[in-house]
Amino acid sequence: MKHDKHIINIFIGNGDMMKRILMSTLAVFLPWLVLLLYDNPGGAFLALIMQASIIGWPFASVWAWRMAHPEKRSTER
């Protein structure tokens, strides 16, 4: 049974990779949902309005993508 768990961990990486894929997909297609999941209801409402207008959809998607994938800062100076 341990061998089966190991194989599953190889494919899903303890859920970390699957979460990144899911959040990336949601950020592109449903940006308001990503912002709501990251506890930003005001931003989710604004992203929903932006998504309703096709012109604002890419900007809402970029905003949600940046929430789902924050940039990593280096600690070295």
pLDDT digits (tens, 9 = 90+) for 26-61: 999 999 999 998 888 999 999 999 999 989 999 999
Q: Are 51 and 64 in contact (CB under 8 A)?
A: no
Q: Are 34 and 40 in contact (CB under 8 A)?
A: no
Termini Cα distance of the chain = 47
Structural domain boundaries in the chain: 2-68
Q: Is-above-0.85 flag for pTM?
A: no
Instruction: Please tell me the predicted confidence (pLDDT) of residue 10.
Output: 52
d(CA 19, CA 28): 14
Q: 48 Cβ partners below 8 Å, 6+ apart?
A: 32
Give the residue among 27, 1, 5, 22 at the shortest CA–CA distance from 14.
5
